[in-house]
């Protein structure tokens, strides 16, 4: 009969260990995925910033060519207007860059939280398994006295 108890205890310990390890690994994998996603966001933001700068440069160049064709010199009010447009575009780029950085930071935080929750889940599983094991050891017959009729 004692070999049955040993088998039950061994099975409970193995099951608890596998479940706890699975939760820990799942949290770790989710953290890695969030970090990878944050890197993708960073690359996408850099690509978008480069595209916006190219568009701005093309617009400024078109303005300069247009002013030149109209016989307006590239100084004074037209130049001031172009400079103001460039400043506004720069402010817009800064805001978009900040937004992208905030998204990246959020993804990294979510990944760290996922890893922590995986570790907590693993610890919880181990404690539940230990509790069940203690219950099994405390009552090896599986049910107490049976009633005594």
Q: How far, in Å, are 4, 83, 125, 127, 141 from residue 137 at the CA level? A: 12, 81, 18, 15, 9
What count of other Cβ atoms lies within 10 Å of the Cβ of residue 34?
21
Task: Judge whether residue 105 has pLDDT over 50.
Answer: yes
CA 128 vs CA 15, 71, 102, 104: distances in Å: 11, 83, 38, 36
Give dist(CA 34, CA 110) in Å, integer.
7
pTM: 0.51
pLDDT tens profile 49-95: 788 878 877 877 777 777 667 766 555 566 666 666 667 777 777 77
Residue 147's pLDDT band, with cuts at 50, 70 and 90, is: very low
């Amino acid at each position: 009969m004692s070999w049955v108890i040993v088998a039950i205890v061994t099975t409970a310990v193995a099951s608890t260990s596998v479940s706890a390890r699975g939760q820990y690994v799942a949290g770790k994998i989710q953290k890695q995925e969030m970090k990878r996603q944050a890197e993708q966001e960073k690359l996408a933001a850099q690509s978008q910033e480069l595209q916006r700068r190219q568009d701005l440069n093309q617009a400024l160049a078109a303005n300069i060519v247009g002013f030149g064709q109209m016989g307006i010199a590239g100084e004074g009010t037209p130049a001031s207007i172009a400079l103001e447009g460039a400043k506004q575009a720069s402010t817009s780029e800064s805001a978009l860059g900040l937004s992208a950085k905030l998204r990246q930071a959020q993804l990294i935080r979510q990944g760290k939280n996922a890893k922590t929750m995986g570790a907590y889940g693993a610890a919880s599983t181990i404690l539940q398994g230990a509790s069940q094991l203690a219950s099994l050891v405390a009552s090896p017959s599986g049910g107490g006295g049976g009633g005594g009729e």
